[in-house]
Structure 1
Amino acid sequence: MTDRVLLVDDDAAVREALGQTLELADLRPILAGSYIEAKDHVSTDFAGVVVTDIRMPGKDGFALLDYVLQADAELPVILLTGEGDVPMAVRAISRGAFDFLEKPCESSALLTVVHKALAARELVMENRRLKRELASGDAAARMLRGTSPQSEELRARVRLVARAGAEVLVTGPTGSGTAKVAEVIHLVSPAAPHPFVKRSAAALGPESLQEACEAAGAGTLFLDEVSSLGPAAQLALLDRLDAGGDARVIAGTYKDLQREVEAGRFSADLAMRLDVLRVRIPPLDERKEDIGPLFRHYVSLACEQAALPEPDISSDVIARLMAQDWPGNARSLMNAAMRFAMGLNDPSPAEDAGLAEQMAQVERTLLIAALEKAGGRAVQAAEALKLPRKTFYDKLARHGLRAEDYRGG
């Protein structure tokens, strides 16, 4: 696990006491007694924050602040000030310090500022990761957003399938973006220089299907909701696949094709030919942690398109979004983002629930999402929520949740 807090203080007793406070909060401190000890831990890859005393022998906390900001201007530094040092600490804020605390500081005050700084650092590190992916020219990273393990797996699957060249069946619930996934498969495949042709299967007959294949040439033909393809067009597509052709076929569906076959509505032979490689798009309810980044992205796009200033998106707004169900998936979230960007509404849960009930629902949803992501490992889930272990277990008990219920196998 990554260390989260570099704590620097030449007073061993203070250093150990503050270190214990951080340790009890599962923040994994690195303890250093001087500028020299601390500087080796500072880098652009350090995902944590720096907490340093101002007055130390040799090079002091201000020297360390300057060193940190020179190494990484976005690495938060929190200064610990003694009596009489507050005016200096205030000046240091203008020089780039994140915040300061007066010594002796209460544990709760230290943890509050550290958690705030960690949240800022996490956002910086995530933005840097996304910029690296975008700079790489990787269409999967650029167009299939999300930070959850499920989104990472989707991108990896898309890249793998793109290289294969065989037919692909893209499955996903309504609004999940099967067409976008198909387009990304095309863009990261060798066929990228050639056309990507999208057609609604419901509107295709044998002749228009042939025209679509010809239009795609050596590129990709995407058939949206292939289960709606009529019997004659199904036969024509099967003949085309049997005969071979230049265009690669990617089919998208939110229905279970096997059930369609069993019901006599879809050709078993065609289903088998299309389902060579499969890409499943997980619904938003399976990857709640993607809701925040996706919503912010959609709001930014909407504001850019409408030439509007971007509104602030508070953590409360994100928490309310995560507490809701999204049967329309990314499409519904995009619509909500558009309304939010236009100032037409503030996403919120059901209005008939009282405040206490709404907050309890949000808390329970966040607990479950953290447990699911951590595979039932309570310590890891508590860490993700920045909660002390005892507080985390108390909340589980209050909501009738058990960590072991979310373990795989």
Structure 2
Amino acid sequence: MTKSVLIVDDERDVREALGQTIELADLLAVRAGSFIEAKDHIDPGFDGVIITDLRMPGRDGFYLLDHVRKIDPDLPVILLTGEGDIPMAVKAMSEGAFAFLEKPCGAKDLLAVVEKALRARSLVMENRRLKLELDRGDAAARMLRGVSAASDALRARVRAVARANAEVLITGEPGTGTPKIAEVIHLLSGAASRPFIKRPAVQLSAEDLTAALSDAKSGTLYLDEVTALAPTVQFALLDTLEAGSTVRVLSGTSRDIEDEVAQGRFNTDLFYRLDLMRVHVPALRERPEDIPVLFAHYVAQACEQANLPEPDVTADVIAGLMAQDWPGNARALMNTAMRFAMGMGEDALTNAPDVGLGLTEQLAQVERSLLIGALQRTQGRSGEAAEALKLPRKTFYDKLARHGIRPEDYRG
């Protein structure tokens, strides 16, 4: 989503010049000539920054700053000041302004401050989202969906490593969702209220690493595909860890990291520092019972985002899904669900190759997944789950008994 910059200045020429500079940087410029025009754009969900002139007729930049601080004290406000307004700007900084710039300001200086402010705002918004997720309950149960024994074991492992203040190496095939595992570990850790920063290791410079560690403060830094770190950055990270960083470093890889070490492409000492604890994410083909539940979730998610009605996920569709081995794992399943939600993917689902499961086994897996999915959606309320599946209650309970499913396991 394009980041927004709200420009508030009573001089039209100034507004237009600032707006053009902002738009040339691929940002959205929202122009306002007064406090009255600007105030409707200001709310706690505003994902951007505000640039305002300090001196304006009527309600000036100080009034605007005070208004913003009451609504959202973390929303960055950048002040534009005239030559004689520096003492006033310094006073405004002490009252919560993010920065001030002297008029006329060059495009380079303006964009440097705006970029810094947007970066700070993004961290605030991301951390609010993570805190909201945390407040809603057990992040492992909520975010790591699946009904298989392998998924149960994964959630248990994630909960266990989250409690330890140690580095964690997360391994898994491409598409298994190692970044999400890192996020859940952070949410369940003692650092949940502090920043969670994600960075791809490929092309990460030593300066980028330093900036990421600074952004993470005393929170968590996740390095995706950590074996792609350049040798110099590997040494820099090792030095940081050896010095006793306050940032918890989680790393993920889809490669055989032991082979990378053996071939001399990954620093041995760094490997042992990052591999203090390990979480392995099983491939989708190793937990086929999860496929219907994940697919239904992805379809519902795609329909909600696109404001579309949910199509029926029939037994034939699920049987087609479960006959595939999904080398792209959950990411490929998500893409298929998105196409299905848009009405484009049914042929690929129903004409999938057979992978050796007999019809009886496939149908049993489908039935078990549908039963558990209904219980999850109704938080273990059996009557509602039976009604959702259009089953008589006795039939519903017979099927639960046959599959060894207990409704109480899915109650909040």
Query: What interval of TM-score do these two structures reach, taking the shorter chain for normalisation?
Result: 0.5 to 0.7
Alignment of 1:281 onto 2:281? yes
Shift of 1:246: 1.3
Compared with structure 1, are the counterparts of its residues 190 and 342 closer, same or farther at alpha carbon in structure 2 (3 Å cutoff)?
same
The residue aligned with 1:363 is 359
Q: Matches of 2:262 and 2:344 in 1, distance apart?
A: 46
Shift of 1:208: 1.1
Alignment of 1:321 onto 2:350? no
Alignment of 1:192 onto 2:188? no
Write out aligned runs for 1:56-135 (5 A).
none
Write out aligned runs for 1:243-392 (5 A).
243-346=243-346, 348=348, 351=351, 363=359, 366=362, 383-384=402-403
The residue aligned with 2:173 is 173
Contact 2:303–2:341 (Cα < 8 Å) also in 1: yes
CA deviations on 1:375-409 (whole Å, 9 max, x unpaired) are xxxxx9x94499xxxxxxxxxxxxxxxxxxxxxxx
- Aligned letter for 2:269? D
Compared with structure 1, are the counterparts of its residues 253 and 304 closer, same or farther at alpha carbon in structure 2 (3 Å cutoff)?
same
Q: Matches of 1:360 and 1:244 in 2, distance apart?
A: 51
Contact 2:323–2:352 (Cα < 8 Å) also in 1: no
Q: Matches of 1:300 and 1:352 in 2, distance apart?
A: 22
The residue aligned with 2:208 is 208
Q: Matches of 2:135 and 2:293 in 1, distance apart?
A: 19
- Aligned letter for 1:264? G
| Aligned residue pair count | 242
- Aligned letter for 2:359? E
Q: Matches of 2:251 and 2:328 in 1, distance apart?
A: 20
The residue aligned with 1:224 is 224
Q: Matches of 1:351 and 1:210 in 2, distance apart?
A: 50
Q: Matches of 2:346 and 2:193 in 1, distance apart?
A: 42
Determine helix, strand or coil for the equivalent of 1:193: coil
Contact 2:176–2:329 (Cα < 8 Å) also in 1: yes
The residue aligned with 2:183 is 183
The residue aligned with 2:146 is 146
Q: Matches of 2:308 and 2:363 in 1, distance apart?
A: 35
Q: Matches of 2:158 and 2:285 in 1, distance apart?
A: 21
Compared with structure 1, are the counterparts of its residues 222 and 347 closer, same or farther at alpha carbon in structure 2 (3 Å cutoff)?
farther
Compared with structure 1, are the counterparts of its residues 240 and 359 closer, same or farther at alpha carbon in structure 2 (3 Å cutoff)?
closer
Structure 2 unaligned regions, length at least 5: 1-132, 370-398, 406-412
Determine helix, strand or coil for the equivalent of 2:163: helix
Compared with structure 1, are the counterparts of its residues 153 and 359 closer, same or farther at alpha carbon in structure 2 (3 Å cutoff)?
closer
Structure 1 unaligned regions, length at least 5: 1-132, 374-379, 387-409
Compared with structure 1, are the counterparts of its residues 135 and 239 closer, same or farther at alpha carbon in structure 2 (3 Å cutoff)?
closer
Determine helix, strand or coil for the equivalent of 2:169: strand
Contact 1:145–1:294 (Cα < 8 Å) also in 2: yes
Determine helix, strand or coil for the equivalent of 1:245: coil
Contact 1:234–1:267 (Cα < 8 Å) also in 2: yes
Shift of 1:151: 0.7
- Aligned letter for 1:161? V
Shift of 1:203: 2.2
Shift of 1:315: 1.2
The residue aligned with 1:85 is none
Q: Matches of 2:191 and 2:134 in 1, distance apart?
A: 20
Determine helix, strand or coil for the equivalent of 1:223: strand
Compared with structure 1, are the counterparts of its residues 281 and 368 closer, same or farther at alpha carbon in structure 2 (3 Å cutoff)?
farther
Shift of 1:313: 0.6
Shift of 1:360: 7.8
Q: Matches of 1:187 and 1:311 in 2, distance apart?
A: 33
Q: Matches of 1:271 and 1:365 in 2, distance apart?
A: 42
Shift of 1:347: 5.3
Compared with structure 1, are the counterparts of its residues 351 and 299 closer, same or farther at alpha carbon in structure 2 (3 Å cutoff)?
closer
Determine helix, strand or coil for the equivalent of 1:221: strand
Shift of 1:362: 5.7
**Superposition TM-score, scaled by structure 1 size:** 0.55
Shift of 1:245: 1.1
Shift of 1:369: 6.7
Contact 2:134–2:187 (Cα < 8 Å) also in 1: no
Shift of 1:368: 10
Compared with structure 1, are the counterparts of its residues 384 and 246 closer, same or farther at alpha carbon in structure 2 (3 Å cutoff)?
same
Shift of 1:145: 0.5
Q: Matches of 1:352 and 1:140 in 2, distance apart?
A: 31
Q: Matches of 1:294 and 1:184 in 2, distance apart?
A: 17
Q: Matches of 1:253 and 1:323 in 2, distance apart?
A: 27
Contact 1:336–1:347 (Cα < 8 Å) also in 2: no
Shift of 1:275: 0.3
Determine helix, strand or coil for the equivalent of 1:288: coil
Shift of 1:364: 7.0
Contact 1:171–1:253 (Cα < 8 Å) also in 2: yes
Shift of 1:350: 8.3
Shift of 1:348: 3.9
Determine helix, strand or coil for the equivalent of 1:203: coil
Compared with structure 1, are the counterparts of its residues 325 and 174 closer, same or farther at alpha carbon in structure 2 (3 Å cutoff)?
same
